[in-house]
Amino acid sequence: MKKKALLTPPRRLFWFSWKLLVAFSLALCILALISLHSSPSTTDLAAASLSRRSRPPSDSFLGRPKIAFLFLTRRNLPLDFLWGSFFENGDVANFSIYIHSAPGFVFDESTTRSHFFFGRQLENSIQVAWGKSSMIAAERLLLEAALEDPANQRFVLLSDSFLDAKEGRYNPKMSPAIPKSKWRKGSQWISLIRSHAEVVVDDDIIFPIFGLFCKRRPPVDASKGNMNTKLQKQHNCIPDEHYVQTLLALNELEGELERRTVTYTLWNQSTTKMENKGWHPITFTYANAGPRQIKEIKGIDHVYYETEFRTEWCRNNSTFVPCFLFARKFSQGAAMRLLSEGVVSHFDASALLDKKID
């Protein structure tokens, strides 16, 4: 029986080096695959960097400023005829319009009753689901498109910002990138100045964390029976009610903000068989959307926040002003009454453009 020949030292060194090279190559391949799935591509990062470099400084624009109206909708705009009348009263040089709708949906003569919306849809829109990070992704797309025009100095989605004192939506897994002391809550409808809009669009750290750890809990479904108990134990978070407010807090910008809403909402606490008790916005109908009700809304000059036990007086710098520039929610019947009774007034852009802070 022949014995297996022993490898000489040079051959042993060769085989060891070859195995080490193969292992190192496999490790590099695995790391490359992980990087492709977990990180933005070099092209994406380069494009984002180029976009930031090509964007003019937020305080360098010297021309006539505009307001960018950003519409986030499922498909069409149900009250486009009311908005059309609103814009008809304004100077087209004072505003611009951007719409995020369902991918492929086009605003033209067949889908909208107002020419102001023709062709104003984003070409890179995404499918959006309420209560998921796709909502704030769509907001970022709207802001990004509007920032391409240096004349756009204010961006309107309309909302407020206040501490999340009672709802427990903060997920400890967000720490340390998002400490609990910086967690904020508000509505997704916001008004931003240009420098703050740039902070939202340029963020590539906080947004991915929201995608991972801020998710809406599934609603109660009677058909699932006892499974609901398990589902309702999941952490509940609504991304679009926290993202912008928390991001601005993390960037130490709260001193530049007004912590109140510019959109009036009438809330009512209600219960249905399919959901837990909660606050829901009342929809104005033909019967309760007359001139008197609108005048009352316009006359409101302070807001009391029950969760913080504080009253916010509405000012533009040191001057007291009406709190609300917009209101929700209105049925088509209510919208028709507002038009027929001449409630929709002249669109004065200075009401937004003259403000120095959000």
Banded model confidence at residue 197, pLDDT cuts 50, 70, 90: very high
Q: Kindly provide the b/e burial profile for residues 204-242, where b requires at least 16 CB atoms within 10 angstroms of the residue's own CB.
A: eebbebbbebbbbeeeeeeeeeeeeeeeeeeebbbbbbb
Radius of gyration for the alpha carbons in the chain, expressed in angstroms and rounded: 26
Give the residue from 265, 274, 270, 348 showing the smallest Cα distance to 90.
Answer: 348
Q: pLDDT of 296-323, one tens digit each?
A: 999 999 888 777 788 888 887 778 888 8
Length of the chain (residues): 358
The pLDDT value recorded for residue 51 is 53
- Tell me: pLDDT of 161 over 60: no
**Residue ranges covered by each domain of the chain:** 63-353
Which is more confident, 96 or 5?
A: 96
- Percentages helix, strand, coil for the chain, rounded to the nearest 5? 40, 20, 45
What is residue 71's three-state secondary structure? Answer: strand
The pLDDT value recorded for residue 207 is 96
Least confident window among 167-171, 207-211, 269-273, 328-332: 269-273
Instruction: Name the residue type at position 143.
Output: L
Specify the residue for token string 């109908």: 285
Q: What is the DSSP letter of 284?
A: B
Give the residue from 87, 120, 84, 83 showing the smallest Cα distance to 105.
Answer: 120
The pLDDT value recorded for residue 311 is 87
- DSSP E strands, the chain: 66-72, 95-100, 152-158, 161-163, 184-186, 190-193, 263-265, 267-272, 275-281, 302-305, 310-313, 315-316, 319-320, 326-328
The pLDDT value recorded for residue 35 is 41
The pLDDT value recorded for residue 39 is 37
- Tell me: pLDDT of 225 over 90: no
Burial class of 66 by CB neighbour count within 10 A (0 to 12, 13 to 18, 19+): buried
**Beta carbons of 217 and 235 less than 8 angstroms apart:** yes
| CA distances from residue 55 to 49, 52, 267 in whole angstroms, order as listed | 10, 5, 40
Q: pLDDT of 96-155, one tens digit each?
A: 999 999 999 999 999 999 999 999 999 999 999 877 899 999 999 999 999 999 999 999
Least confident window among 68-82, 130-144, 152-166, 245-259: 152-166
CA distance 136 to 240: 6
The pLDDT value recorded for residue 20 is 61
- Tell me: pLDDT of 202 over 80: yes
CA angle 246, 249, 252 (to 5 degrees): 155
CA distance 51 to 145: 11
- Tell me: pLDDT of 42 over 60: no
Least confident window among 13-27, 42-56, 170-184: 42-56
Which is more confident, 257 or 251?
A: 251
CA distance 164 to 249: 13
- Tell me: pLDDT of 205 over 50: yes
